[in-house]
Amino acid sequence: MHREGDRKQANGNRQPSGSNLRKILLPTFYLAISLLLAVLSSYARSSGQFNAAGVLAVIALILAVVVSLTLVPRLWKRVQQDYLHSMRFFRFTRRGMIFTLSVLCIAFASFNTGNNLLILVLSMLLSSMIVSGIVANSVLRRLKVSINLPKNIHAGQKVVLFLTLENLKKWFPSYALRLQGGFESPSGRQDSRSEVAEQAFPFIPPGENLQIRLEWQFPQRGFYRVDGFYVRTSFPFGFFVRGRKLEVQGGVMAFPALINLDPVRHAFPHLLEGQVEAKEKGIGSSLYNVRPYRSGDRARFVHWKASAKLNRLMVKDFAREEDRPLNVVFSTYLPEPSKQALQCFEVAVSLVATLAESYHNRGHRFTLLCGDFEVSLNGNQRDYETMMQFLAQVEHSSRPGIPSRSPQGPSILLAAGDLAGWEGASRIDFLRLPVEEAVQTVPKRVPA
């Protein structure tokens, strides 16, 4: 996730290095010439050559003024940017406020009394403040944060994230770091940002990293962009809190939430799902019959409870299952995008995603038609991810539109209201879906 961004950043830093070097060396060269001319001017004056001394002094002064007018504003702008950026994350702690008030009182007393002991104490306190800033800036330098995200995340599921903070310094460790950041929610959603709770990194040796395991939950479907992390520290004395922002590139696609299909099946009993049991013996998972044991039957099919009752070996036969594909035609048309209608639309998207998940896990054929988008699942992981990414970002439309033809095989039209022009077998009005019961997500934990 971070390699491409790091490569771009490295290329961007590599290109202007020559120009930056010239900007530094050229003023230094001019200052060196100015200093040399000033020394020669002093030597000429001591030798009695006053005209040459005056000319050399004027040239040295002109070079010094030119360097000052070109270099000093640039340096001031750089110092001002660094100072404002550091002050953006600067905070006083409680003990820091007490310490600062104590320093001001001692400074006022030392200036009024001129007591050498107070001046000595004041200098020690001021030096501790300077040392605190230098050490804190050293602790915050050259840090890198990365986050490891699992694949196939569904909204509403608890996932495991690994947050890694790396200390890139060669000699100096980092102490008492606290990291906080989050994900920028998809555009058009209710929440603008999803924050990760603040995490503590007490000690990171130089050149090493520290990893923390987090349990996280994405509340809505869509693409969540990593919005950077803020690292801060109150080391070494706890008087002030200093921090900086660590940029992180990448994000994660949260698939639609998986819902409970039982309320939908009760409301629409014609809803088909995968394999259907045939009323004859075959290979399946449901019990069809119990019969006496025959030579050649496998021991794992023995029905031990029936064998104990009848005092002879009995064997289980299973009902044959037929693979019936399912075609879902999903119309995103929403006549009135009210709050209740938008909730029903989200449940409809989750319904399609749950059916696709169920069919994909069992390797059965499932086809989705939504406008110009059409994809079929038949055990292919790439097609499954393509469908889920589409469902994660699909939005409602203000224009009605459904295919003029019905696909071959069992088909279901999922649309808002009664749309004309459909010749399929089944229709489901997702505005009538049981939102309160179906919105409960299926409990599932995504492994790391």
The per-residue pLDDT for 268 is 60
CA distance from start to end of the chain: 16
Task: Inform me whether the pLDDT recorded for 6 exceeds 50.
Answer: no
Mean predicted confidence (pLDDT) in 378-405? 81
Lowest mean per-residue pLDDT among 246-260, 293-307, 418-432: 418-432
Domain boundaries, the chain: 20-139, 140-255, 277-323, 326-446
Nearest to 351 by CA among 276, 407, 412: 412
Please say if the pLDDT value at position 56 is more than 60: yes
- How does residue 85 score in pLDDT terms, banded at 50, 70 and 90? low
pLDDT of res. 105: 92
Q: Which has the minimum average pLDDT: 68-72, 91-95, 275-279?
A: 275-279
CATH number assigned to the domain with residue range 140-255, chosen from the 4 options 2.40.110.10, 3.30.1280.10, 2.60.40.10, 2.60.40.3500:
2.60.40.10
Average pLDDT over residues 191-198: 68
- If pLDDT is split at 50, 70 and 90, which confidence band does 206 have? very high
What pLDDT sits at residue 208? 92
The pLDDT of residue 147 is above 50? yes
Confidence of residue 424 (pLDDT cuts 50, 70, 90): low
Residue 229 has pLDDT above 80, yes or no: yes
* pLDDT for position 407: 66
Q: pLDDT value at position 326? A: 80
Mean pLDDT value of segment 1-21: 46
Measured in degrees and rounded to the nearest 5, phi and psi for residue 227 equal -100, 30
pLDDT given for residue 446 in this prediction: 43
Percent of all residues in the chain with a pLDDT value above 90, rounded to a whole number: 8
318 pLDDT higher than 80 = no
Q: What is the pLDDT of residue 390?
A: 92
Q: Are 272 and 368 in contact (CB under 8 A)?
A: no
Lowest-pLDDT choice from 12-16, 183-187, 435-439: 12-16
| Model confidence band, residue 359 (pLDDT cutoffs 50, 70, 90) | confident
Average pLDDT over residues 94-118: 89
> How far, CA to CA in Å, does 403 sit from each of 187, 370, 383, 413, 432?
29, 8, 21, 10, 22
Is 203 or 445 the better-scoring residue by pLDDT?
203
Quick one: pLDDT band at residue 12, thresholds 50, 70, 90? Answer: very low
Say what the pLDDT of residue 391 is. 92
- Could you tell me which residue, 271 or 65, shows the higher pLDDT? 65
pLDDT surpassing 60 at residue 189: no
C-alpha closest to that of 409 among 434, 376, 432? 376
Mean pLDDT of the chain: 77
Say which residue, 107 or 295, is predicted with more confidence. Answer: 107
**pLDDT value at 262 more than 90:** no
The arithmetic mean of pLDDT across residues 415-433, rounded, is 69
16-20, 43-47, 70-74 — most confident range: 43-47
Amino acid 244: pLDDT:
86
Query: How confident is the model at residue 101, as a pLDDT?
Result: 93
Lowest mean pLDDT of 10-19, 85-94, 244-253, 352-361, name the range: 10-19
pLDDT band of residue 151 (cuts 50, 70, 90) is: confident
Sheet with 366-370, strands from edge to edge, namely 373-377, 366-370, 326-330, 411-415, 426-429
pLDDT of residue 196: 76
- pLDDT value at position 97? 92
When pLDDT is averaged across residues 117-137 and rounded to a whole number, the result is 89
